[in-house]
């Protein structure tokens, strides 16, 4: 997989959820903080205000997208002066893949599409930890057409579920999450950070090296071979990679190999020797030692604790 797909596939657990809500003024609803979850809202019709727990309120219009990658708390309301009287359901609630609701009083209508994702905090990748607590993608003509198309398709499916809606909605929610992150990472250069993962994935040399690592973690990569992929000298590549990613190339390679190994141990019954080979270790012994240094326990014990056998009655 490429970097972004790999990160999302490794962290998201369970099913996402989505709800189309028609809010009737006056209305104000709080969304409680939820560690281990991420959520978004898209304004489909009308306007409203977002009131973050951290930061100042600001208005949202049709087509605006807000995304909370770490489950920070916030409220939505028709006006920043409207009392916030309700607490919304957890946006990562897996019990409803898609739903519709109507909330509020007799006034003007605002329609939003919200979605939530469950994330496994034990698999946190620095790319998500490095994101701001709130991402706002304002609607601008000609910007992020794929994101707008995914929003339109998802809104249509949630409003009028038809045959195959379960598969379509789940796929569109995953697409939407990737498009939101892509839109943030591909922001205008003057808005990009000078360091961190947004800058790393926007940097042509470093992103090529990261892509190579994620597509083939078992390959015997060296700093020199990664530098050659990036088109830089060994020293220049190592400095640039370390500055943007936050650790040296081989340090990140090792971390990602062992994170991938942990995922394989949890999700498959592949023998330890096969897991070792798939993440680039020539022997089960070398793999076990490296895994224990990273995760604090042997791979076999990690698998038993992560995937306990059902208790007999």
Domain ranges, ordered by start, for the chain: 3-190, 203-306
* pLDDT score at 92: 47
Q: Looking at the predicted structure, is the pLDDT value of residue 14 above 80?
A: no
Q: Looking at the predicted structure, is the pLDDT value of residue 129 above 80?
A: no
pLDDT above 90 covers a percentage of the chain that reads 52
pLDDT grade for 6, boundaries at 50, 70 and 90: confident
Euclidean distance between CA atoms 292 and 118, whole angstroms: 27
- pLDDT tens digits along 207-264: 999 999 999 999 999 999 999 999 999 999 999 999 999 899 999 999 999 989 998 9
User: Can you tell me which residue has the tokens 């020539």?
Assistant: 282
Average of pLDDT values for 65-85?
91
* pLDDT score at 95: 52
* pLDDT score at 313: 35
* pLDDT score at 206: 95
Q: Looking at the predicted structure, is the pLDDT value of residue 106 above 80?
A: yes
Q: Which two tokens stand for residue 205?
A: 């040399």
pLDDT above 70 covers a percentage of the chain that reads 90
* pLDDT score at 215: 93
Q: Looking at the predicted structure, is the pLDDT value of residue 133 above 70?
A: yes
* pLDDT score at 123: 66
Which has more confidence, 266 or 94?
Answer: 266
* pLDDT score at 76: 94
Euclidean distance between CA atoms 123 and 300, whole angstroms: 18
pLDDT grade for 310, boundaries at 50, 70 and 90: very low
Least confident of 78-87, 203-212, 262-271: 78-87
* pLDDT score at 185: 79
The enclosing H or E element of 20 equals strand 12-24
Mean pLDDT estimate for the chain: 86
What does each C-alpha distance from 120 to 8, 125, 185 come to in angstroms? 10, 10, 22
Average of pLDDT values for 130-159?
88
Among left, alpha and beta (phi > 0; psi -120 to 50; other), residue 73 is beta
Cis peptide before 261 (omega within 30 of 0): no
The CATH-assigned architecture of domain 203-306 is Orthogonal Bundle (1.10)
- pLDDT tens digits along 44-57: 999 999 999 988 99
Tell me which range, 31-40, 68-77, 222-231, is most confidently predicted by mean pLDDT. 222-231
Euclidean distance between CA atoms 278 and 259, whole angstroms: 12
Tell me which range, 93-102, 120-129, 141-150, 250-259, is most confidently predicted by mean pLDDT. 250-259
Average of pLDDT values for 1-19?
79
Q: Looking at the predicted structure, is the pLDDT value of residue 270 above 90?
A: yes
Which has more confidence, 87 or 262?
Answer: 262
In this structure, are residues 126 and 69 in contact, taking their beta carbons and an 8 Å threshold? no
Average of pLDDT values for 116-142?
81
pTM of the model: 0.79
* pLDDT score at 312: 37
Topology (CATH) of 3-190: Jelly Rolls (2.60.120)
* pLDDT score at 100: 82
Average of pLDDT values for 147-157?
91
Taking alpha carbons only, the member of 135, 129, 121 closest to residue 196 is 129
């Amino acid at each position: 997989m490429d970097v972004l797909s790999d990160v999302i596939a490794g962290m998201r657990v369970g099913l996402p959820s989505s709800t189309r809500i028609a809010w009737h003024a006056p209305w104000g609803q709080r969304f409680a903080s939820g560690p281990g979850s991420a959520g978004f809202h898209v304004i489909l019709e009308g306007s409203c205000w977002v009131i973050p727990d951290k930061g100042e309120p600001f208005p949202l219009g049709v087509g605006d997208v807000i995304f909370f990658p770490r489950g920070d708390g916030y409220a939505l309301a028709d006006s920043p002066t409207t009392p916030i009287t309700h607490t919304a359901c957890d946006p990562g609630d897996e019990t409803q893949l898609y739903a519709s609701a109507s909330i509020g009083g007799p006034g003007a209508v605002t329609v939003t599409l919200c979605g939530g994702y469950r994330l496994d905090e034990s698999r946190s990748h620095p790319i998500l930890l490095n994101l701001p607590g709130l991402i706002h993608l304002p609607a601008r003509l000609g910007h992020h057409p794929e994101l707008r198309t995914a929003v339109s398709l998802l809104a249509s499916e949630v409003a009028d579920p038809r045959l195959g809606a379960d598969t379509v909605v789940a796929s569109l929610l995953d697409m939407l999450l990737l498009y939101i992150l892509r839109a943030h990472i591909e922001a205008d250069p003057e808005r990009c950070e000078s360091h961190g993962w947004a800058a790393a994935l926007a940097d042509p040399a470093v992103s090529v090296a990261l892509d190579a690592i994620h597509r083939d973690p078992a390959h015997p990569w060296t700093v020199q071979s990664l530098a050659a992929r990036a088109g830089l000298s060994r020293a220049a590549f190592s400095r640039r990679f370390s500055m943007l990613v936050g650790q040296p190339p081989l340090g990140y390679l090792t971390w990602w190999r062992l994170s991938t190994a942990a995922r394989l141990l949890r999700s498959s019954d592949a023998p330890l020797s096969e897991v070792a080979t798939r993440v680039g270790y020539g022997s089960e012994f070398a793999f076990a030692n490296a895994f224990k240094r990273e995760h604090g326990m042997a791979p076999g014990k990690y698998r038993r604790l992560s995937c306990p056998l059902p208790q007999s009655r």
